[in-house]
C-alpha cells in the first residue's frame, strides 16, 4: 500500500497569509496525486488534479506542484472561506489512498 | 448536473449486515468507475472499493476485503455496497464517489454521505 504523509496536521493562519501543505508518498507515484478540500459538515471537493492541474471554478489562489514522492498545495493568500481540512490522494495504485489531512484554521 | 445520493445507512449491531445504495444522475453512469470512501467520526478519508464501469472488475481495501462487496446496476444507474460482519471500527460516513473517465483520474463528484453506526 502506498502511504501518503501530510504535514503539518494543523495550521492556524492569518487572512492574506500564504499557506503551504506538503504530501509525501512512500514510493514514486508520478503525477497521480490530487488535492481535496473538506469544509466542516460537507463532502470533500476536488481542488487540484494530477499534482498541478487547476480546475474550473476553483479560485486561482490554490495551486499544486510536485512529482514523484513530494507534493505541495499552496494557497497564495488565505481567505476566511478557506477554513477547511485538506487531503491529498494518490491514484497511482489500483487501491487508492489518502493522506491524513491538514486542518487549516483562520486566526 | 451530476448527483450522487446515498441511502441505507443506520444503526446496526456488531456482526450484522447493511446494504448501502447510491443513486446516480446527470452523467452516463455505465461509462465511469465508481468508488466508496468512508470517514470515521473526526477522522480522515479511507478509500474502500472501486468497480469498473461495466462491473467486471472490483478492488477492495484490506480492511474490508472479504466482508464488503461493491456492485452496480447500470440499468438503474445505481451503485451498491453490501457490508457484512460489521465491526465497531466500521462506524463512519460512507461516500459514493465518481471518478473521471480514466482509471487514475481524480474523484470529481462526491455524494453527501450516509452514516453507518455499528453498536450494540
Give the confidence band of B60 by pLDDT, cuts at 50, 70, 90.
very high
Q: Which of A69-73, B66-70, B100-104 has the lowest mean pLDDT?
A: B100-104
B contact residues 92-111, partner A, Cβ 8 Å cutoff: 95, 100, 103-108, 110-111
For residue B113, which of A95, A24, A75, A43 has the smallest C-alpha distance?
Answer: A43
Rounded CA-CA distance B35/B17 in Å is 19
Query: Smallest CA–CA separation between B70 and chain A, in Å?
Result: 14
Rounded CA-CA distance B62/A95 in Å is 9
Say if CB B38 and CB B115 are below 8 A apart. no
Query: Smallest CA–CA separation between A34 and chain B, in Å?
Result: 6
Name chain A contacts of B45, Cβ cutoff 8 Å: 36, 38, 44, 87, 89, 98, 101
Name chain B contacts of A36, Cβ cutoff 8 Å: 45, 107
Name chain B contacts of A50, Cβ cutoff 8 Å: 106
3-state secondary structure of A93: coil
Taking an 8 Å cut-off on Cβ atoms, the answer to whether B112 and A34 are in contact is no
The average pLDDT across A59-87 equals: 97
Q: pLDDT over 90 for what percent of chain B?
A: 96
The average pLDDT across A27-37 equals: 97
Q: What pLDDT score was predicted for residue B100? A: 85
A94 pLDDT higher than 90 = no
For residue B97, which of B22, B14, B12 has the smallest C-alpha distance?
Answer: B22
Does B1 lie at the interface with A, CB-CB under 8 angstroms?
A: no
Q: What pLDDT score was predicted for residue A84? A: 98
Query: Smallest CA–CA separation between B44 and chain A, in Å?
Result: 6
Q: pLDDT over 70 for what percent of chain A?
A: 100
B103 pLDDT higher than 90 = no
For residue B95, which of A89, A69, A11, A75 has the smallest C-alpha distance?
Answer: A89
Amino acid at each position: 500500500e502506498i502511504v501518503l504523509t501530510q504535514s503539518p496536521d494543523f495550521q492556524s493562519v492569518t487572512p492574506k497569509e500564504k499557506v503551504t501543505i506538503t504530501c509525501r508518498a512512500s514510493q514514486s507515484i508520478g503525477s497521480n496525486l490530487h488535492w481535496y478540500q473538506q469544509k466542516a459538515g460537507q463532502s470533500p471537493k476536488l481542488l487540484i488534479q494530477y499534482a498541478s492541474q487547476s480546475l474550473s471554478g476553483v479560485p486561482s489562489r490554490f495551486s499544486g506542484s510536485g512529482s514523484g514522492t513530494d507534493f505541495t498545495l499552496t494557497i497564495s493568500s488565505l481567505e476566511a472561506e478557506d477554513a477547511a481540512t485538506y487531503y491529498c490522494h494518490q491514484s497511482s495504485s489500483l487501491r487508492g489512498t489518502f493522506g491524513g489531512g491538514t486542518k487549516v484554521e483562520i486566526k | 448536473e451530476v448527483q450522487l445520493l446515498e441511502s441505507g445507512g443506520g444503526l446496526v449491531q456488531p456482526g450484522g449486515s447493511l446494504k448501502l445504495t447510491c443513486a446516480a444522475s446527470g452523467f452516463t453512469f455505465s461509462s465511469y468507475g465508481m468508488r466508496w470512501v468512508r470517514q470515521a467520526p473526526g477522522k480522515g478519508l479511507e478509500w474502500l472499493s472501486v468497480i469498473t464501469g461495466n462491473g467486471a472488475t472490483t478492488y477492495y481495501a484490506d480492511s474490508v476485503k472479504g466482508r464488503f462487496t461493491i456492485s452496480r446496476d447500470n440499468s438503474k444507474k445505481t451503485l451498491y455496497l453490501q457490508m457484512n460482519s460489521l465491526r465497531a471500527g466500521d462506524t463512519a460516513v460512507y461516500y459514493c464517489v465518481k471518478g473521471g473517465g480514466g482509471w487514475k483520474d481524480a474523484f470529481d463528484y462526491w455524494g453527501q454521505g450516509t452514516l453507518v453506526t455499528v453498536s450494540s
